[in-house]
Every structure is written in structure tokens, then in C-alpha cells.
Amino acid sequence: MTQPQYDAIIIGGGAAGLSLALHLAQNAKIAVITKGPLREGATYYAQGGISAVLDAKDSVESHIEDTQRTGAGLCDPGVVRYTVEHGREAIQWLVECGVDFTTETAPDGSTHYHLTREGGHSHRRILHAADATGKEIQNSLVGQLKNHPNIDVLENHIVVDLITSKKLGQDENHCVGCYVLDREKQQVITLASRFTVLATGGAGKVYLYTSNPDVSTGDGIAMAWRAGCRVANMEFVQFHPTCLYHPKAKSFLITEAIRGEGGILRLPDGSRFMPNFHPDAELAPRDVVARAIDHEIKRLGIDCVYLDISHQAADFIRSHFPNVYTQCLEFGIDITREPIPVVPAAHYTCGGIMTNMTGQTDICCLYAIGETAFTGLHGANRMASNSLLECLVFAKAAAEDIAARIDEPYQAPSLPEWDASRVTQAPEEVVISHDWDELRRVMWDYVGIVRTDKRLQRALNRIQVLAREIDEYYTSHTVNNDSLELRNLVIVAELIVRSAIARKESRGLHYTLDYPEPISEKLQNTILTP
């Protein structure tokens, strides 16, 4: 069979991947690979919005200052400025793609975007489409992508691994393609490409409780690590403070914008507790709010706390938060009349694959953008709604870099086909399901919101045992979706734990009882090398 040859393969179909595809598709043949349907991913479920300086009372300098303060001293100043300064341009591009942001009418009759405020921000600068911003962005980008003559979309495909020239016996390490499992046909195909882009999102599924969709299994980070890329700051995992607590609710996030519009966190007796933890109370940075909720749950031995917006007018609530209102009502909770039971859950991976300002990784022709990448924007804690902005800004930067290199002389190598001659069909899947469950419980119990050296070492010991079991299973049996995701998750879990052990201080999202204070003279990123 003739191997498909592309100018660029983009692994992942969220805001980062689709934006890059659209920017690059005018003069390049592209494949977009998604594990599930094209609309399934973290972008689709993003409720809050995207941050950008549009209000005359706001400023680029204020957005930069807020981002750096929330990042607890570890943000890269040049990356922060570059991202923030390109915010207005990113918004304009989304509007041109058909994104319909929520507007409001001023007293003078003029119409402008409605801006809300979220944790860490000193101004209202969050553009949104009601409370389903990600869904609106995703649908608009998919609409632009459909039937594009230069873009092939491979839905329900999962990448098994990257193919590099070093794996083919050459000295220099270039990424030249990937092996991909067609989940419907259960066949592994070989795709060759001049450039490969990892836009696979985060790794929330490494934890037992997460706001992330099922596809967020750290695939890009694990593949890049196996190929030889460095990763950075994997210890900084953001836990969203408010996920719906209900036995039938799966990973449903309650947008931070509810707190931005006056929502109050209460204990079961109705008392407010956030003013005891931070002067900004409910609008404190996410790590502070999540840690406060975790503290109160453990202190009182309760299952959850409550987020109360019912003091606002019912019409206001239904118009501003129609998605949350409808979803909660399905579980018997009327948020116009009663508070919402909430708990923290793993939400965002601040660390990732190290890249430069154009998304290039340590391996030539391999790029990483979006949540899977470490750009230096978020530091030790991501500020709310900066993530979609990062996706858009770096997607364009990577597209421009690839476009500038695409006409360079290039001899496409002949890639070996996937060899499954020495493996057998697994007789039972219980090993996978058991290891999957144990890994996520170990991470939740020992590598969660509050950590200790003893918990981390216990986690590392068990993860390394699991890693050996999983590797033995992978090398002996035919690959399938679950085994591939688990193989990636156990790598990401070990990277998180090793990074957490290396940081002997508390900073941002990494809080340890053994080192409860930050160490100002040791301001550095945690970098791991394969």
C-alpha cells in the first residue's frame, strides 16, 4: 500500500489543532487526527470564555500583571506579553470564523461584547458565548473545516506512537510521521508527514475526579517523552474548584463565571468561608479556592460545599448561565432557588512538552501547541480563561513557522509498516481496567491538591510497578484504545510525581505540607529529560 504523505499531521481536534489547520490549509495538505468525533474534546466543554483586553478601562499591562501574579513568579515575561498583545487579533479571527460572542446594549444604544470577570483578573475581560463558549468556538471552527479540499479529517483514530528518524537508525532526530490505530477497523496505519503537531490537550484523566472529557489522557506528552522531548513543570496540575457533585453527573464543570457574577461558596450550614482564606474571597486564584474547599471538606468530614447564585434574579441566572441551569435542572437542582453542590476536580495541566515561541519542540519538525505544550505562559498556576487564548495565539505562530519552512527541500523517507506479527489478542481486559482504576486512585489519594514527601514516594513506587505491568501488556498484545491510553497515562503520572518530588517548596498549584512556604531564591522551572 502507498503510504499517505502529508505536509502536516495535526494530532488533536480542539481549538489549538483546528486553528492551526485553518491557518495552514491554504498551501499545505493536512491531516487532522481525533480520537473520537471531531467535536469531542476539552474545548467543546469550556464554559467560561477567553480573556482579551477589549475594555477601554482595561490594559495590556494589567492583563500581563494579573497573569504573572497568578503564575506565582514562574511565568515567562516574554511569552506572557506576546500572548496578551495578540489577544484582540485572536478574537477578531474567531469572529471572522463565525463565533457569536454574547453582546449587551449600552444606555446610549450602542452594542458591545459582554465581558465578565473570573478569578485572578483585576478587570472584566472574559469574552463568552453565554456559558458555552467552547461549544460555540468548536462548532464554528468545525464549520470552517468541513469540506476543505486540503484537510483530511480522521475521526475515531488514536495515534499509537510518533515515528522519528532516530528510531529508523539515523543520527539526527526528526519526526517523520506516526502510527495510527483506526478504532473502527482495529487496524494500525502508517502516515508520513513533513511536520507533525501535537495538539492533544491535557491529562486530567490521570486523576479519579476530573472536569476533563474521556479523551484527555496525556497522549501528546507521553508520545513526545518517548520520542526524546523534555517536559517542564508537570507538578502544576490545576484543580477546578467547582465541579458538580452528584452521583449521576460525570465531569460537569460549574463555570467560574458564576463566582464572577456574585456566586458565594457556602458550607452545609449556609455560612460563607472564602473570606477566611483570601481577601478576594470567591474571586481568589483557583489554587486558593480549590485548596480552601478541600480544607473545609476534610476538616468537617463533608462530601461537598455549595455554590450559591440564587440571590440573583432568576431571569439573570437563566440568561447568563443557560447551560448550567439546564444541566443542573436535569439532576433536580434549580440554581435560581437553591445552591449547587460542588467539589474540586483535576482540570488543567500547566506543564507539558517544552517548546519555543513558535511551538517547536526539541525534535525537528515536531511541534506542540495548546494544553499539551509548556510555553511558559501559565507559570505555577494558569489564570482563568488564558488557555483558549494560548491555543489561538500559538496555533497561528506555529502555522506561520511551518508555512515558512514548507518549501524547503525534503526527501520523504519510506516508513516501515506496523509490525504486529509477534503479539497476540489479549485473552481478557481485566488487567487494563484494574490498572486504570488503581492508577487514578493512587494519583487522587497521594498526588492531589495537598501533598507530602511520603505520599509522593508511595505514589511513585506503585506507579513504577504499574508501568512495568502495562509495558509488558503493551508489548505482548494487540493494541487497542484502552491499552494505548493507559500506557500514556502511566507515563504522565510518573512525570507529575517526579516533578512534584523535585520541587522542595510550595508554589502555585503545588502545595506540600513538608515545604509549606515558597523559596524566593529558587525561582526555576522543573525540567525533566528522557
**How far apart are alpha carbons 118 and 124 in whole angstroms?**
8
List of residues 6+ apart from 235 with CB closer than 8 A: 351, 496, 499, 500, 502, 503, 509, 510, 526
Report DSSP letters for 255-318, one per residue.
-THHHHTT-EEE-TTS-B-GGGT-TTGGGS-HHHHHHHHHHHHHHHT-S-EEEE-TTS-HHHHH
Distance of CA 463 to the CA centre of its chain: 22
**How far apart are alpha carbons 236 and 218 in whole angstroms?**
14
Expressed in angstroms, the distance from the first to the final Cα of the chain is 34
**How far apart are alpha carbons 407 and 381 in whole angstroms?**
39
> Does 272 qualify as catalytic in the annotation?
no
**What is the H or E stretch that residue 501 is in?**
helix 481-502
**How far apart are alpha carbons 372 and 398 in whole angstroms?**
14
Distance of CA 471 to the CA centre of its chain: 25
With residues binned 3-state (H G I as helix, E B as strand, rest as coil), the percentages for the chain, rounded to 5, are 40, 20, 45
Cell, residue 155:
475521526
Count of alpha carbons within 13 angstroms of residue 206, beta-carbon side: 34
Residue 178: closest CA among 203, 196, 205: 196
- Under 8 Å between Cβ of 163 and 188: no
Total residue count of the chain as it appears in this document: 530
- Under 8 Å between Cβ of 141 and 18: yes
Catalytic residue among 286, 455, 487, 507: 286
Coil, strand or helix: which one is 52? Answer: coil
**How far apart are alpha carbons 386 and 48 in whole angstroms?**
11
**How far apart are alpha carbons 95 and 140 in whole angstroms?**
9
How many other CB atoms are there within 10 angstroms of residue 275's CB atom? Answer: 13
Q: Which residues form the catalytic set?
A: 286
